[in-house]
């Protein structure tokens, strides 16, 4: 009898619990909320910090470095070169005629000391390209090489991305 009473009690408890869970409420309200998501502009540009070349009079040489650009918006890309200067920041423009720059898909064989036109880059662009620097040492040997002393010379290449 006691066992039967416990079974009946448990059965009534489960029926009551099931009815409470499955019962429809007397009052119910729902409301929708819209989520407005704004995706911000994203631009990633990867270049090396510096490019180093050992060059000689009479020998052509080139170096190629990675140039990576990725964007989800329209961007403007501008590349410019200030031209060569020596360690004392003096202009050595003769070297500008013997160094050429190229960027795959954008420009080829541009001499140093330039400001190149702005390129418009579309959203969704993922550009893994190559930036090439050519030293025209053979041509330099036939020209004014004696006007340039041994030493370190620098050209600053500025890559500007704007949107």
| pLDDT tens over the chain, length 163 residues | 777 788 877 787 777 777 667 667 778 889 999 999 999 999 999 999 999 999 999 999 999 999 999 999 999 999 999 999 999 999 999 999 999 999 998 888 889 998 877 899 999 999 999 999 999 999 888 878 888 899 999 999 999 999 8
pTM summary value: 0.74
134 with 102: CB under 8 angstroms? yes
Please report the beta strands in the chain, taking only residues with DSSP state E, as ranges in sequence order.
43-46, 61-71, 75-81, 99-103, 107-111, 119-121, 126-135, 157-162
| CA 90 to each of CA 3, 34, 77, 84, 94: distance values in angstroms, whole numbers, following the listed order | 105, 62, 29, 8, 12
DSSP assigned state of 106: T
């Amino acid at each position: 009898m006691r066992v039967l009473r416990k079974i009946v009690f448990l059965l009534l408890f489960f029926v009551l619990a099931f009815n409470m869970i499955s019962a429809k409420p007397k009052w119910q309200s729902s409301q929708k909320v819209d989520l407005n998501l704004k995706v911000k502009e994203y631009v990633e540009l990867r270049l090396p910090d510096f490019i180093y070349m050992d060059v000689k009079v009479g020998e052509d040489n080139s170096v190629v470095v990675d140039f990576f650009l990725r964007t989800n918006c329209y961007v403007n890309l501008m590349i410019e070169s200030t031209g060569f200067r020596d360690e004392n920041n003096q202009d050595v423009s003769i070297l500008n005629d013997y160094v050429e720059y190229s960027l795959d898909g954008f420009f080829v064989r541009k001499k140093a000391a330039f400001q190149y036109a702005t390129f418009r880059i579309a959203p969704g662009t993922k550009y893994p390209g190559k930036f090439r620097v050519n030293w025209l040492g053979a041509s330099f040997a036939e020209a004014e090489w004696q006007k340039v002393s041994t030493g370190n010379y620098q050209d600053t290449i500025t890559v500007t991305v704007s949107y």
